[in-house]
Homo-oligomer: A and B are copies of this chain.
Amino acid sequence: MAKARSKGEAAQQAGRDPPVVILVAPQLGENIGMTARAMLNFGLDEMRLVRPRDAWPNAAAEAAAAGAERIVDSARRFESTAEAVADLGYVLAATARVRGMTKRVITPRRAGRKLRECARASVRGGILFGPEASGLANDEVALADAIVQVPANPTFHSLNLAQAVLVVAYEWFAAGATGPEETVTLPRTRLANKAELLGLFEHLEHVLDASGFLGIEGKRPIMVRNLRNLFQRAGLSEQEVRTLRGVITTLVRWRAPEC
């Protein structure tokens, strides 16, 4: 187990060189800034720009980056897509439409895993995104190893630039996540152990026997089982077991006013 973990950690370390996001002919500075924020949320930090429409550096991009300015500030500008991808070994083209060419098309999920595999193999990856209105041209798609297409509602597919980047960046991040898909937060406490649960069950059953609740002929075993099962299912913390025992004790002592 220890060995498997350290192997996993080494792989994660090697997989830390994230793919580059290449914006081809982006129009609005605001979208460049929002893209930078989307990237940084999911650990991507290198942006390249191919012929941005407006002058670069761009104040609107800077303003929209709000916290991710360093990505905007360090973004390199290129004259052509070919130059922008020259040093990369694996390039994806993000496009909603699939054009008249024979081309591999992958989901963002597979893209995230492929880009992680590249990073682990020290192959620098990149993802091309086209201009807001028109998307990538066929000649740019031809430079890519595959198309990455975000699956979406066939009758309403209108992700903006930063949203498309967000989904692909999210999948890159998720593909590197090593934690469980489900955890339980236990602030200042721990899950109750079985002895504590049994203590609760017996406390409850004792007062229910004494008060007559479990006295119905032949029903006691199934009622006990159902009650135990219900509390078992709640995944109680040790603190919650104590709270419930306090609830029982209080209710037993209290006599409801007759009304």
Contacts and interface: CB of A to CB of B under 8 A. Distances in A.
Nearest to A163: B166
A177 interface: yes
Contacts of A167: 166-167, 170
Given A163-B163, A166-B163, A170-B167, A105 B184 contact: yes
A101 B185 contact: yes
Interface residues on A, range: 35 or more
A161 to B, nearest CB: 13
A158 B102 contact: no
Given A170-B167, A174-B109, A104 B184 contact: yes
A100 interface: yes
Interface string A24-47: 000000000000011011110000
A162 to B, nearest CB: 8
Interface in A140-180: 147, 150-153, 156-159, 163, 166-167, 170, 173-174, 177, 179
A225 interface: no
A106 B41 contact: no
Nearest to A98: B185
A186 interface: yes
B237 A102 contact: yes
A40 B187 contact: no
B42 A181 contact: no
3 A-B pairs with least C-beta separation:
A110-B181, A100-B187, A40-B156
